[in-house]
Structure 1
Amino acid sequence: MKKLIQGLLDFQRHGLPAYRSTFARLAQGQSPDCLFIGCSDSRVVPNLVVSTHPGDLFVTRNVGNMVAPSDAAGQSLGDRSEAAAVEYALLHLPVVDVVVCGHSGCGAMKAVLAGYNDQRTPNLGSWLELGRPALAALERGGGKLGEGLPPADRLSQLNVLQQLEHLRTYPLVRERLEARTLRLHGWWFDIARAQVHVYRPDLERFTPIDELEGERMLAELRDSDGESMSTSAA
């Protein structure tokens, strides 16, 4: 807590002047175009990693960057906090991209891998069940995903893809995907290297977002934006 208070005072003295106009503008409302679903892990700081400012990202974080799937009516089959964030982002904010970001050394994935069963933490145990399908995929071999990585990191990458599948169970998400007004992205953060990887379906693996990959992604997004506008105009 001491560090938080000292940091707050430092921001008020040195950081706030540069952001004063930004917060005055944001007081009138927010218009982020990306929903970022990340892990609660203290080592994963979305705004730092992607160099964004207040108002740029709509963020929800939880243990293991997970989202419970929905039933046919769109009702979450688990905790509703993440589902509520998805609904709010897609219906009340100009969000066109959703990122699910896992990371190396994830404690949640290590717990799932170890068969976590601590009677003192029934809520955590229940929540971690959302990672079981990814564990089943790992036990089946896991394909090319995370080859050469420790089992928990391979599971973390598989878990990102599983949570994207959970998102696709929501009618609202499917509708937006079919209308080509929404894009889903799987990211994975290598903490030791401070390197973000993106899932490439064509390669069936995560690849580092370096300069070359970043330019490829930007070009793909430009094409997607143009296609979406053409579809909307039609």
Structure 2
Amino acid sequence: MKKLVQGLLDFQRHGLPAYRATFARLAHGQSPDCLFIACSDSRVVPNLFVSTDPGDLFVMRNVGNMVPPSDATGLSLSDRSEAAALEFSLLNLPVKDIVVCGHSGCGAMKAILSGYNDQKTPNLSSWLDVGRPALAAFERGGKLGEGLPPYDRLSQYSVLQQLAHLRTYPLVRERLAAGTLRLHGWWFDIGHARVHAYRPDLERFAPIDELEGERMLAELESSSSETSSSAA
């Protein structure tokens, strides 16, 4: 807590002047165009590694960066906080992209691998059930994440599983069909401070280096142009 108070004072003394106009503008509302779903892990700091300012991202964080699936009506089959954030971001904000970002060394993935089910933590044990379909996919075998420790491979499988869960929501499916929403799977390698993006064409997560970043930007530009043409 001491570090938090010292950091707050440092921000007020040195950081606030540069952001004063930004916060004055944001006091009237927010308009982020991306919902970023990340893990609660203290080592994963989305605004840091994507260099965003206040107001740029609508961030949802939980243990294991997971999203429970919905039933046919769009009602979450588990904890509803994630579904509420999803609905709010799509219906009240100009969100056009959703990123699910897993990471290396994830404690939730390690717990799922170990079969964690502790009666002392009934909420955590129940929550981890959301990640078990990813474990089933991992155990069926595949090449995703080859060479990585099992828990990191599971983390990558889980990112894809959470994207599948997102697609169970009618609101998401409608926007995907209309071309007004894009889903992205990312994975953060903490040790190398490098983000990887899932490439469906390669069936793997590729590091976002300069070349890959330029490819992604060109793809996004093309997608935006096609959507604008369709709307016209």
> What range describes the TM-score normalised by the shorter chain of this pair?
over 0.9
1:178-217 residue CA offsets vs partner (Å, 9 max, x unmatched):
0000000000000000000000000000000000000000
Tell me, what secondary structure is at the counterpart of 2:183? strand
Q: Which amino acid aligns with 2:98?
A: V
Q: How many residues align?
A: 232
Q: Which amino acid aligns with 2:53?
A: H
Q: How does 1:36-47 map to 2 (within 5 A)?
A: 36-47=36-47
State the alpha-carbon separation in 2 of the partners of residues 131 and 85 from structure 1. 19
C-alpha deviation, 1:117, in angstroms: 1.1
Q: What TM-score does the superposition give when structure 2 sets the normalisation length?
A: 1.00
Higher mean alpha-carbon deviation, 224-233 vs 101-110, is at 224-233
Q: Which amino acid aligns with 1:47?
A: N
Aligned to 2:9: 9
Aligned to 1:71: 71
State the alpha-carbon separation in 1 of the partners of residues 101 and 216 from structure 2. 16
Aligned to 1:160: 159
Aligned to 1:27: 27
State the alpha-carbon separation in 2 of the partners of residues 124 and 45 from structure 1. 22
- Regions of 4+ moved over 6 Å: none
Q: Which amino acid aligns with 1:170?
A: Y
State the alpha-carbon separation in 2 of the partners of residues 144 and 232 from structure 1. 39
Aligned to 2:168: 169
Are residues 1:201 and 2:200 paired? yes
State the alpha-carbon separation in 2 of the partners of residues 150 and 185 from structure 1. 23
Q: Which amino acid aligns with 1:72?
A: A
Aligned to 1:109: 109
C-alpha deviation, 1:229, in angstroms: 0.7
C-alpha deviation, 1:231, in angstroms: 1.4
Tell me, what secondary structure is at the counterpart of 1:199? strand
Aligned to 2:82: 82
Structure 2 runs not aligned, ≥5 long: none
Structure 1 runs not aligned, ≥5 long: none
Are residues 1:190 and 2:202 paired? no
C-alpha deviation, 1:144, in angstroms: 1.9
Aligned to 1:100: 100
Tell me, what secondary structure is at the counterpart of 2:206? strand
1:43-68 residue CA offsets vs partner (Å, 9 max, x unmatched):
00000010000000000000000000
Q: Which amino acid aligns with 1:136?
A: A
Q: What is the RMSD of the two structures over their aligned residues, measured on CA atoms?
A: 0.4
1:109-160 residue CA offsets vs partner (Å, 9 max, x unmatched):
000000001110000000000110110011111x221000000000000000
1:69-111 residue CA offsets vs partner (Å, 9 max, x unmatched):
0000000001010100000110100000000000000000000
Q: Which amino acid aligns with 1:163?
A: Q
State the alpha-carbon separation in 2 of the partners of residues 44 and 126 from structure 1. 23
Q: Which amino acid aligns with 1:6?
A: Q
Aligned to 1:58: 58
Aligned to 1:150: 149
Q: What TM-score does the superposition give when structure 1 sets the normalisation length?
A: 0.99
